[in-house]
Amino acid sequence: MDAPIIFCEGSASSLDIRLLARLMRGCRPALFVPVGGKHGLRAFIDGHLATRASRPRYLAFRDRDFDVEPPRKQELIHLGGPKPIFLTYRSCVESYLIDAELIDLYWAFHNENSLRWGHGGSPGRDAVGSWAQEAARAIADYQAARWALSKAKPSQRWPEVRNTWTTGSGDLRPCLSKAACNEKATSLVQAYTEVCSLVTVPKYQAAVERYEAQFASAEFWDNMQYMTWFHGKDLAAAMHRIRPGWISLSHFCSWAVDHAEWGVPVDLAELKARILAL
């Protein structure tokens, strides 16, 4: 029986596919297929499956980003639709790795073992945790704006003007006169305009105020919910901006995904179980 296919956002060397390989280490083989950007994921899957003589067992995995709000219960998120496409519970892979204990471990390991290490000893887990929270507070308004903009979208994908009113290239309607073509094309443009009219400044303002209030609550900070709601790449960039002389978080994440011993989050454990069940 052929190994199941796991489609994964990013390139063959990205953190996403390396995390999956680490997660499935020691398990029965699976074929990890990088798909590049998330927006072409569905089309990539269709194209790949079309080359197969028989339909293989598969699922797809990608970052949640700002596409879906995380549920209150930590769990793997299904994107919706007929395809088995699943999203991280946290915003992205980096959000799982930015952890005070992991960073402290990385810092201590390199301080003891790397000849060219120039950062000295770790400042300690508490200092690293404070570093991350200070960075999170610095980007809270930006994250509120990003969430609000995601809610301003009239649909899951930003609407595009289709370039045909048929099922696609190769499907021709009986009448292709200038008048008939202009009538159909005009209706497509009008439909696009009607959808885009739903994107308004008041709608954005209402959304951003809701996220600003959520991100200002004591519960949000006491429970470190920013590790779920804020984008890990933004958080890492803010941490570097605050402490530019401290470690490189891109180097840390690359190390952590391959070497660190860390507990498997609930959603990733569910992902592993789903892969094993294929």
Contacts 24+ apart (CB under 8 A), 48-56: 48/5, 48/7, 56/2, 56/4, 56/5
- Are 132 and 171 found together in one domain? no
| In the predicted structure, residue 270 carries a pLDDT above the cut 70 | yes
- Are 36 and 83 found together in one domain? yes
- Are 35 and 51 found together in one domain? yes
In angstroms, the CA 221 to CA 189 distance is: 45
Is residue 38, in this structure, part of any structural domain at all? yes
Expressed as residue numbers, the domain containing 129 is 100-153+200-251
Contacts 24+ apart (CB under 8 A), 149-153: 149/66, 149/204, 150/66, 150/67, 151/203, 151/204, 151/207, 152/199, 152/200, 152/203, 152/204, 152/207, 153/199
In angstroms, the CA 85 to CA 91 distance is: 15
Predicted local confidence at residue 156, as pLDDT: 56
- Are 23 and 86 found together in one domain? yes
In angstroms, the CA 103 to CA 134 distance is: 16
Who has greater pLDDT, 182 or 113? 113
- Are 104 and 240 found together in one domain? yes
In angstroms, the CA 91 to CA 231 distance is: 5
In angstroms, the CA 238 to CA 137 distance is: 9
In angstroms, the CA 141 to CA 34 distance is: 33
- Are 106 and 141 found together in one domain? yes
Is residue 23, in this structure, part of any structural domain at all? yes
Is residue 209, in this structure, part of any structural domain at all? yes
pLDDT in tens, 143-202: 998 888 788 766 655 554 566 767 754 455 677 676 776 687 678 777 767 777 776 778
pLDDT in tens, 230-242: 999 999 999 999 9
Number of domains into which the chain is organized: 3
| In the predicted structure, residue 103 carries a pLDDT above the cut 90 | yes
Is residue 142, in this structure, part of any structural domain at all? yes
- Are 207 and 107 found together in one domain? yes
Q: In what order do the strands lie in the sheet with 5-8?
A: 31-34, 5-8, 58-62, 85-87, 77-78
Predicted local confidence at residue 137, as pLDDT: 94
- Are 30 and 57 found together in one domain? yes
Residue 59: strand, helix, or coil: strand
Is residue 256, in this structure, part of any structural domain at all? no
- Are 114 and 236 found together in one domain? yes
pTM: 0.85
**Residue 62: strand pairing partners:** 87
Is residue 171, in this structure, part of any structural domain at all? yes
Contact 229, 91 (CB under 8 A): yes
Of 85, 86, 93, which Cα lies nearest the Cα of 15?
93
- Are 24 and 77 found together in one domain? yes
- Are 105 and 239 found together in one domain? yes
pLDDT in tens, 191-215: 767 777 776 778 888 989 999 999 9
Is residue 39, in this structure, part of any structural domain at all? yes
Mean pLDDT, the chain, rounded, equals 87
pLDDT in tens, 54-64: 888 999 999 99
Is residue 138, in this structure, part of any structural domain at all? yes
Predicted local confidence at residue 1, as pLDDT: 65
- Are 220 and 104 found together in one domain? yes
Q: CA neighbours within 13 Å on the CB side: how many for 205?
A: 3
- Amino acid in position 212: E
